[in-house]
Amino acid sequence: MGVHKRILEGNADAVEFCSTPAYYNLLAAASYTLIEGPTPTRVGGVYLFTLGDGDYNLQELQRIETSGVFDIKWRKPSADLVPCLGQASADGSLRLYTLQDDDKPTLQETANLDIDSSMCLSLDWSPIESEPQIAISHSNGTLTIVDVGQSEPQVCDSGAAHELETWITSYDSWNPNVIYTGADDCQFCAWDTRQGLHTAVFRNKKTHSMGVCSIQTNPQSEHSLITGSYDENLRLWDMRMGIRPVMKLETGLGGGVWRLKWHPLDRGLILAACMHNGFVLVRVDGEAMEVVEKYEGHESLAYGADWYQGAWCNSEPEKPEENAGKNSVRSLAATCSFYDKALHVWEPSVLASNTRI
């Protein structure tokens, strides 16, 4: 298992590989640091890295000082749009950075919208290209939808989704009118944007015994959704009955499940950031769910996690005499941990493959 490591200036809490094919090699990372005192301040940074040619060493391209960052997400890929990175900020603002690619790729801030006096905790981009929107969750329980299709972003809807901190918001990959939220009130909810944000499609109050931290639908398998919770359980849901989700499987991961990411090519593999218990890979196969690998390279709270969005190709075949002119297809994961400020890019052993293209 190869690993490349970098140390950020602040507490590392989010990583995202670019989802636009021409820029798969770009990785954004973010940090959040609380400076205590009579007037506490929250500062952070956004970092842009690229994977080195022929290997996956990280080369830093840019570093941006900003408010404390809780979440970052790249815009869904489009043939007509340049990559754009959204930032959920501790000062209650949404910041947008558009990728500039002149001499080298860099991020240029193109919008800074003050949304709420409460902190922005998470964000997600709508999959609808013709009506670009961003959903944002807040520390006061609010859910906000921002129209980013205009020259200046504007709030187009807002509602009190939860009673406590809404840790996560996520669009449904298969139904762009549906947004899911999870919060410290232990509730897992869905909202239909056509009906507004005042009445939830459903509100599950009983399944999670602690706060809901992560939600993601499977982009390769309709009606399949996962949730992660402070109660240390990963849960798989069947969403075919839209107003009554069915919990199919659950497994304990030994730590609060802060972030979950489906593999972009392997429809049954999940990368989980488990706070005090590091990072694990979970395989869903039919009626079974099991941990197949644990990555223990970090020394602090496991927070940020993401997959390289394509199939990583090593330019040097493992056995040149047998595979001349061919490339090895591999998967890479990026993870970050909080207090040790560490960012790692690594190759899961369970996915190390001799597959050739």
Q: What is the pLDDT of residues 208-219, one digit of tens each?
A: 999 999 999 999
Please state, in angstroms and rounded to a whole number, the distance separating the CA atoms of residues 66 and 89: 8
With residue 159 as reference, give the H or E element that holds it.
Answer: strand 154-160
User: What is the spatial distance between Cα 172 and Cα 259, in angstroms, rounded to a whole number?
Assistant: 16
Judge if pTM exceeds 0.75.
Answer: yes
pLDDT averaged over the chain?
92
Q: Are strands 328-330 and 246-252 parallel, antiparallel or unpaired?
A: unpaired
At 135-157, the pLDDT tens digits run: 999 999 999 999 998 889 999 99
Reply yes or no on whether the pLDDT at 239 is more than 70: yes
User: Which pLDDT value is given to residue 326?
Assistant: 43
195's torsion region: left (phi>0), alpha (psi -120 to 50) or beta?
Answer: alpha
Do residues 343 and 15 make contact, with C-beta atoms less than 8 angstroms apart? yes
Name the 3-class secondary structure at 23: helix
**164-194: pLDDT as tens digits:** 999 999 999 999 999 999 999 999 999 999 9
Each residue's pLDDT tens digit, 264-300: 999 999 999 999 999 999 999 988 999 999 999 999 9
